[in-house]
Amino acid sequence: MIKKVLVANRGEIAVRVMRSCRELGIESVAVYSEVDRKSMHVRYADDAVCIGPAPSSESYLRKDKIIEAAKLTGADAIHPGYGFLSENADFARMCEKEGIIFIGPSPYAIDTMGDKITARKTMIAAGVPVVPGTTEPIHDIKTAIDVIMKIGLPVMIKASAGGGGKGMRLVKNEEDIISAISGAKSEAKAAFGDDAVYIEKYISSPHHIEFQILGDKHGNIVHLFERECSVQRRHQKVVEETPSPIMTQEVRMKMGADAVAAARAVNYYGAGTIEFIVDDNLNYYFLEMNTRLQVEHPITERVVGVDLVKQQINVANGLPLAFKQEDLKQTGHAIEMRIYAEDPDNNFMPSPGVIKHIREPLGLGVRHDGYVYKGYEIPMYYDPMISKLIVWAETRDEAIARMKRALFAYKITGIKTSIPYLHRILEVPDFIKGRYNTHFIEENQQYLKKQNTSTERSIDMAAIAAFVDYITKLESLQTEPNTKQQLGNNWKDFGRKRSALRF
């Protein structure tokens, strides 16, 4: 059984993994780069080893140094978190070779799912739906029509040799098929000297819905239902929730079974995620598999009532899963929002810096997974995510209200954060209704722009607070310094006093 886990990561996920280790009575080892000496994971861990300079390539991505640190501290397992080396099959293999348990899937599963083409082929073989389309170039119109009729409208026709939108045609109606193919072909011919085209199903309002799965080393695989992740900015998830507001129980069961089939196709063990692209009619297609813990795993933990990190460790220990599919169910509604050190009102410019003051949101139904603290300097070298706010409530409406309450109470000064932006997302009518897809952010710009909520009184209060602070400083400066109070009586007696310093 695992006795000591090295966490090959930093930030909130490192602390989160260590928390579960502590509950299991397992010691934890932090590795850290030179700029991370004061980081919370170093303080939280039982052991800590420095593995190099700030750039990830010289520290958190250095497989050799991490393995060395594990040996130095006697760690018998490594948890990779997410990002960094979490989906690196070579690292998993190195661990295996060195007799260290890699808390994650087999290198084979990582490799297979890591390559898009292999993954697609594996899924087709396993009977998991993928986005329909041709894999060979088409030259004649008749074949093209046949393919389109088989895939079903709408489709996107793309020039085989193409790029830059040339030779691309979106077909929505049957009567446009022939003219679209002809047009695409002649445009392709003119542009690239080749009139071959590809045809792919076009999903006009795509939803990103993923399924959490868990497998053990005895062939048992279950899914822990879906997460709706369609609120994305530049392909980065911003909000995740479960259950998905567009899901039906019937489709959920079908998708869950397909997610399990997808995992089974690579003999998956550990925690993993099957990402699907879903259209408005709940047709769904395999997109990719993440062979690791996801950032958004806590919403599943809350709604299903399972500690996923503990499950990962149990699986790595060779234990069978403690539950069957029929033991699992969803209760209530959970939402996660990611808090970034960035300025949402200035093109999301990153905002590293020193946390001057922090007040974390607490209370019923609120989980806050973070790692920064007062006085901590967020380094400029890593991802700007500083924490995740996860709320649970009986219903989706209540969860939204709770998230607003939590954002209201969450105060950080010293850096800019995405908190005001997240507030605005919760006020967008389409979000409130649960009717959104991956175009949500771009379609709702008018709601997401900074609103001027200033009143004369709030401006005056801001001015007054600053002014009172200023004149208080001024006054204390003009008063004779009361050294005695600051340094204790004894300093003065011994004539050591040179001046009163802040310490």
Partner 1 sequence: MSYEIKINDRISNIEVLSREGNKFSILIDKRCYELDIVEVDKGVYSILHDCRSFNVELVEAKNSKSYHVNTLYETYEVEIIDAETKYLMNRRKDEGEDQNVISSPMPGKVVKILFKEGDLVKAGETVVIVSAMKMESEYKVKQDRKIKRILVKEGDTVNGDQPMVVIE
Annotated catalytic residues are: 292
Q: How far is the CB of 385 from partner 1 (least distance, A)?
A: 9
To a second copy, the closest distance from the beta carbon of 423 in angstroms equals 13
d(CA 217, CA 195): 50
> Could you tell me the CA-to-CA distances from 495 to 480, 484, 492, 498 in Å, in that order?
18, 12, 5, 8
Piece in contact with partner 1 (CB under 8 A), picked from 41-49, 195-203, 215-223, 396-404:
41-49
C-alpha to C-alpha distance for 483 and 499, rounded to whole angstroms: 8
Nearest in space to 372 (alpha carbons), one of 98, 15, 1, 46? 15
Interface of this chain with partner 1, residues 2 to 31, rule: CB under 8 A: 29-30
Residue 233 β-bridge partners: 236
Q: How far is the CB of 150 from partner 1 (least distance, A)?
A: 42
- Residues of this chain that interact with a second copy (CB under 8 A) are 15-16, 19-20, 22-25, 44, 298, 301, 305-307, 331-332, 359-360, 362-370, 373-374, 393-394, 398, 401-402, 404-405, 408-409, 472-473, 476-478, 480-481, 486-487, 491, 496-503
Candidate ranges 185-193, 329-337, 428-436, 457-465; the one touching partner 1 (CB under 8 A):
457-465
What residues contact residue 236 under an 8 Å CB cut-off, 6+ apart? none
Contact pattern for partner 1 over residues 334 through 373, marking x by CB under 8 A: -------xx---x--xxxxx--xx---------------x
* Cα 228 to chain centroid, rounded: 12
* Residue 409 contact among partner 1, a second copy, none, beta carbon within 5 to 8 Å by kind: a second copy
Q: Which of a second copy, partner 1, none binds 219 (CB below 5-8 Å, type-dependent)?
A: none
* Residue 146 binds which of a second copy, partner 1, none (CB < 5-8 A, kind-dependent): none
Tell the smallest beta-carbon distance from residue 370 to a second copy (Å).
7
Of 452, 260, 225, 236, residue with least CA distance to 350: 236
466-495 binders of partner 1 (CB under 8 A): 466-473, 487-491, 493-494
User: Which contacts of 395-400 are long-range, i.e. CB under 8 A and separated by 24 or more positions?
Assistant: 395/332, 395/333, 396/241, 396/245, 396/333, 396/335, 396/434, 398/333, 399/241, 399/332, 399/333, 399/334, 399/335, 399/365, 400/335, 400/426, 400/432
Rounded least distance, CB 371 to a second copy, Å: 10
User: Which residues contact residue 32 at a Cβ distance below 8 angstroms, ignoring those fewer than 6 apart?
Assistant: 10, 39, 41, 42, 48, 49, 50, 51, 59
- Binding residues for partner 1, rule: CB under 8 A, are 29-30, 37-38, 42-49, 72-73, 341-342, 346, 349-353, 356-357, 373-376, 380-384, 408, 411, 413-414, 416, 420, 423, 453-454, 456-473, 487-491, 493-494
